[in-house]
Amino acid sequence: MARILIAEDEPRIAVFIERGLRALGFTTTTVGDGVSAVDYANSGSFDLVLLDIGLPMMDGFAVLRRLREGRNQIPVIILTARSSVADTVSGLESGADDYLAKPFHFEELVARVRLRLREDRSPEAGAISYGGLSLDLRTRQAHVGARVVDLSAREFMLAEVFLRNPGQVLSREQLLSHVWGYDFDPGSNVVDVYVRHLRRKLGAERISTLRGMGYRLEALE
């Protein structure tokens, strides 16, 4: 799976992104300043950079210019609270591959990451499977045995988190954060609603409830 450098100095957002991407199987490293971002991005150890503009020591625009001037063409997605047209244009003209304004939905971030990595790479990137259930990451379809199941974007992301963590108990808070974002309402019942959707489409017995703990994907051939 792809290796992603997260250059973000706000701990809450950095942890949210890191946990979410790792839950989907990505390898991540986080740095909190621009100088470190340049050093790590130039190491040759990463496939993509998520770059915050408001970094200390060297802001994201300067990091991006330094990388491109050094002929480093690693894909860069800018993450920033600045959402003006001028900032967007400045980022893209500096060599960014994409631009995402905060606050953002994790679903959109993952879609943009995958878009920039689509030429990649690893043989694993095509599909994931467990216990008679598989997800095609290119067509965004689910397969239960030989049966094709259409899932909405949120249902697919939720199913993917389960498949990336087979047999593990995942709390509602973990699922909410990974699929709906860092600014979620912890009192929301949206996870329970979407788990019901998945059970209806994939099989009621496939996702078990552990009272007071969360949900677990079961292996059913």
What is the DSSP pairing of strand 27-31 with strand 3-7? parallel
Per-residue pLDDT at 121: 46
Angle at 112 between CA 9 and CA 164, to 5 degrees: 85
In 10 A of CB 119, how many CB atoms?
6
Phi and psi torsions of 100, nearest 5°:
-130, 120
CATH number of 127-217: 1.10.10.10
> What is the chain's pLDDT, residue by residue, as a tens digit (221 residues)?
789 999 999 999 999 899 889 988 899 999 999 999 999 999 988 999 999 988 999 998 899 999 988 889 899 999 887 655 566 666 666 678 888 888 888 888 988 898 888 754 444 457 888 888 999 877 778 999 889 999 888 898 899 889 988 888 998 888 887 777 655 566 678 899 999 999 999 999 999 999 889 999 998 76
Per-residue pLDDT at 99: 85
Residue ranges, comma separated, of all CATH 3.40.50.2300 domains in the chain are: 3-116
Say which CATH superfamily domain 3-116 falls into. Response regulator (3.40.50.2300)
* C-alpha separations of 139 from 94, 123, 125, 135 in Å: 32, 15, 12, 9
**DSSP H/E element including 94:** none
